[in-house]
Amino acid sequence: MSDSVSIAHLSSRAVIAVDGPDWRSFLQGLLTHDVETLAEGEIRFAALLTPQGRLLYDLFVVAQGEGALLDVAAEHLDTLTQKLKMYRLRAKVDLCVSDLGVWVGWGDKPQGVWLADPRLSTIGWRAYGDFAATTDETAYEAHRLALGIPGPADWGSEKTYPIEANFDLLNGIDFKKGCYVGQETTSRMKRRGVIKSRMLPLLLEGAAPAPGAEVLAGELRAGEVLSGVEGRAMALLRLDRSAAGGLTVDGRAVRVERPEWFFKAVGEDLTAA
């Protein structure tokens, strides 16, 4: 195996197996991404929203055989499974928790059946089963954060809109598909083209501030810290107040970093995001 391959098991993720003749139409009416056109062995990033359009859960959908695998946050496994069963109604769909492990690889592509993470080419690949780890989940989280990609710790549950969490920029929403739970609010935000807040990384000296710490632009609140590691944090920022710089957290100077993928999508003007 190449020394430039990193492989980690994500104990924070779990798998739900979905099958039955109606599995595609069932998920199509719930999730932010299209599953009707999902090909065998293809993976898509999506979310389940509240009827008001706020983020409940992120997930990856992988078409497999006569059904699909849902790669979900382990801490929400039971709650999400029950919610999906509640939505099932008369649909011919079976749901069960799988014992497959969730694995990620980055750097050079690992050997075997690995699926390119649909959010961003540089984040790497995902696989399901049992593999040999070369590093741990902490290293992967640092890799993700270095790319400026928010994660479940940043959006929580029922707090944030998917566009604020950059799902639209990271291939997590299909704006051309039919109706799904929370679509009206999501589509309206996109149509109006005025996004007041987005999640972006902050660069700073020393340890990351505590989650919930205020980001200030002068004396004005510009956002809040969501998660972080040494030298870097993820924050939900008001774009108008953070665009000019001069930000502080707990009296420390911080700087907004615009990842390359964000810059390509939004450009120089943060307020036009």
- pLDDT tens, position by position, 144-174: 999 999 999 998 878 899 999 999 999 999 9
Q: Tell me: the pLDDT tens digits for 46-87?
A: 999 999 999 999 999 999 989 999 999 999 999 999 999 999
What is the pLDDT at residue 273? 52
DSSP string, 71-119: EEEGGGHHHHHHHHHHHHTT---EEEEE-PEEEEEEESPPSSS-EE-TT
Residue 1, pLDDT above cutoff 60? no
Longest dimension (CA), the chain: 57
- Cα torsion angle, 33, 36, 39, 41, sign: positive
What domains lie within the chain, and their CATH numbers?
Answer: 5-155 (3.30.1360.120), 194-272 (2.40.30.110)
Q: Say which residues have a Cβ less than 8 Å from residue 71's Cβ, sequence separation at least 6.
A: 13, 14, 15, 59, 60, 61, 62, 102, 126, 128
Phi, psi of 165 (to 5 degrees): -90, 10
Number of Cβ within 10 Å of residue 185's Cβ equals 17
In the prediction, which pLDDT does 192 show? 83
- Output the average pLDDT for the chain: 93
How far apart (Å, rounded) are the C-alpha atoms in residues 67 and 193?
Answer: 36
Percentage above 70 pLDDT, the chain: 96
Q: The tokens of 143 are what?
A: 């890799």
Structure tokens at 73: 């946050």
pTM: 0.93
**Of residues 266 and 159, more confidently modeled:** 159
Residue type, 146: A
